[in-house]
Amino acid sequence: MNHTETLPALRAIGVPYKRVDGRLKVTGAAQYAGDFTANGLTYGFVVSSTIAAGRIVSIDSSAALALPGVLHVLTYQNRPELPRADKAYKDMVAPGGSPLRPLWDDRVWYSGQPVALVMAESLELARHAASLVEVRYESAPHQTAMREVLMKAEPPSTEKGGFEPPPEPRGDADAAVAGAAVRVDEFYSTPAEYHNPMEMHGCTVVPGEHGNLTVYEKTQGVVNTKTYLTTVFGLKDDEVRVVSPFVGGAFGSGLRPQYHLALAVMAARELKRPVRVTLTRQQMFTFAHRPQTIQRVALGAAANGKLQAVIHEAVSETSQYEDYCDVVVNWAGRLYQCENVTLGYKVARLDVPTPADMRAPGAAQGLFPLEVAMDELAEALRMDPLELRLINYAERDANKNLPFSSKALRECYREGAARFGWGKRPLAPRARREGNEWIGWGMATGAWEALQNEASARAVLGRDGIVTVSSSTADIGTGTYTAMTQIAADALSMPLHDIVFELGDTRLPKAPIEGGSWTVSSVGSAVDAACKRLHNRLVELARQHGGARFASVAREDIRRVGKRLVCGFGADDSIGIDTLLERAGLESLEEQANVKPHEKQQAYSMGTHSAIFVEARVDEALGTVRVTRVVSAVAAGHIVNPKTAGNQIAGGVVWGISMALHEDGQFDHDIGRQMNHNFAEYHIPVNADIHDIDVLFVDEHDDIVNPLGAKGVGEIGVVGVAAAVSNAIWHATGKRMRDLPMTLDKLFA
């Protein structure tokens, strides 16, 4: 046995380390987009439209400009010239399409649209001055009620948005439903839900001496933001730097550059001074939101529970100027085995801003009716809902006719049910009661894709033994800093405290936007590759400059221990990294890697899966619902950090409870304006609404999805939760809830 085999390898992946950036955040040292400052900083405040459709007749800024300290009021009439071609940046934002171009012309598309930007020496002054800007409008008829235009809905255009059409029908689902021994055919709805991260959207734009810009922006992708700015403003690549080291929550709202960014850049270039524009909480309701949907699910089954037909049709909202589309119905064609499947998707145009991706876009809405309908089918069959799902378990992705790279959903069902105690569940509803509360148990399935995109990373070793790893990815609160540090430490067999990970800067190697749960898969694979290259290069240096002992041993026998390289236990079997680099004439050692998805992935369908089990208690007199216990069992490949990943799933469960019981964007359709655009009336859960959440990860090996075998967990946590809550409410009360949110007025209806 070689004596070096007794040296233990450091393992970082799979260890529940605390967040490496946690201290910066809790001490206030972390800088967000609105925290950066510069000499001569100017503050911008957005003036929002008060009509839902029409045109601007006039804008009178004289009263605002008369105030000392007010520097300028930017409108469509005096904004700088911008390129006209939408196609120049259609494919450079996420989701695809042509975002609203603020102050483009006199057209008003929706209530709350930005119509002016006031710039002043202080935020308070800018806000007051904005209230003095008088805008006269010519109103046009508007429509914000989707049910009024439901019959006008049309299939979305692939030219106006990033639409992924449903697969072609399989078999004859209509005939199969009609001839089924047992069938369910119902309509379901989900409301518009709004992004409300703790950090509101904002940016600080600092112009340089030669017209270059440094932009501190809340974004999920600095490269995406830079591409948007260079294209829209006709700037060269070296004229823009985008920086975003910390993001106070996003989950979709930061994928696309929002209107405050373009306004701030226009203002900074106009004034030739640094400008900060931050949105108010009310203005956070004037762009990114999850679109409302109306969906039909029809299921037909044999008497033994075997599915014979699945029909899932959905209509969701979009704006008048874009075709935004979530992938809502496709999941029904892959989650369960069925030979007759028809999926359809349409969009209805409203006078509202374009919707946006929101955590698990499409799946969060689409799995709600599908999983409630499966529960209704189990009720009609007098069958346990979990048994029904196992009977119809899909071994292949029928949409793509491909095998799964891995799918441990059976294990999720088994381990989640055991942890929850599902075997003790009464089959009939209204079977358990404590005091005034009926107690019900419900479950649902969750699914999301496991994706990988091209990404780059760099690793630099200094003489001090510290390795700095970097990539221009983002951390929206998901734990990217920590996960990448662990991946680097594992690849280098180093302790975490000797690794520094940098992100959120366009000067760093390119990375995709942080979204779709693909960051660990994409950026993590690049970090792993760059660090392994660095280690191999360091080993070669040791063989060349470490002396006779290092030159005589095999490469795999040379390992790093602390800040030294060793190949044994003798005096000549060790050399300091600083000494090695000095002998080689190097101040540092650097390697970079670019990783792309490999071709063998095309032969598989890749995804994450979950099983959610919920206990709900419903007060018979008050109609209030308490979700007192949740078990979420997740299969997501190799988990890099069980602590941060578990936090992600628990956060998704909270969001799912919020979706089920609280969130609802409510409009006054007469004036076409959302009325609950604040935290007082747009309800989200508080601590008292959340009780026991138990997250478990099942073992799942996957050597196809990426070199790490890791799948993302950002989205999967929320999928299926609302359906499980609905099913638990039915089990408690005997009443089906098909429209979100499930509020007490609907329970009593």
Listed in sequence order, the DSSP H helices in 217-283 are 222-232, 259-271
The helix (run of H) or strand (run of E) holding residue 308 is: strand 307-318
Helix (H, G, I), strand (E, B) or coil at 87: helix
Cα–Cα distance, 312 to 335 (Å, whole number): 12
Burial of 9 by CB count in 10 Å (0-12 exposed, 13-18 middle, 19+ buried)? exposed
Residue among 285, 291, 353, 363 at smallest CA distance from 322: 353
> Annotated catalytic, 371?
no
CA 501, 506, 511, 513 torsion: positive or negative? Answer: positive
Long-range contacts of 543-550 (CB under 8 A, 24+ apart): 544/584, 545/580, 545/583, 545/584, 546/575, 546/580, 546/583, 547/572, 547/575, 548/572, 549/573, 550/575
The neighbour count for residue 82, using CB atoms within 10 Å, is 13
The residue assigned the tokens 């520097």 is 71
Phi (first) and psi of residue 110, to 5 degrees: -165, 160
The helix (run of H) or strand (run of E) holding residue 173 is: helix 173-178
Question: Beta strand pairing status for 240-243 and 213-217?
Answer: parallel
| 305: its two tokens | 């529970």
Is the separation of the CB atoms in 677 and 663 below 8 Å?
no
Radius of gyration of the chain (CA): 28
Burial of 653 by CB count in 10 Å (0-12 exposed, 13-18 middle, 19+ buried)? buried
Distances, alpha carbon 109 to alpha carbons 49, 57, 143, 678, in Å = 9, 14, 11, 22
The residue assigned the tokens 């689902």 is 173
Residue among 192, 138, 189 at smallest CA distance from 319: 192
Cα–Cα distance, 292 to 286 (Å, whole number): 15
Active-site residue, selected from the candidate residues 317, 376, 514, 715: 715
Cα 181 from chain centre: 40
Q: Which residues of 101-126 are buried (b: 16+ CB within 10 A; e: fewer)?
A: bbbeebebbbbbbbbbbbbbbebebb
* Sequence-separated (6 or more) residues with CB below 8 Å from residue 617: 434, 437, 438, 439, 440, 625, 626, 628, 732
| 688: its two tokens | 């008292």
Classify residue 350 by its DSSP letter.
Answer: -
Cα–Cα distance, 607 to 556 (Å, whole number): 35
Maximum pairwise Cα distance, the chain: 87
Is the separation of the CB atoms in 448 and 719 below 8 Å?
yes
Helix (H, G, I), strand (E, B) or coil at 434: strand
Task: Work out the end-to-end distance of the chain between its first and last CA atoms, rounded to an integer number of angstroms.
Answer: 76
Residues taking part in catalysis:
715
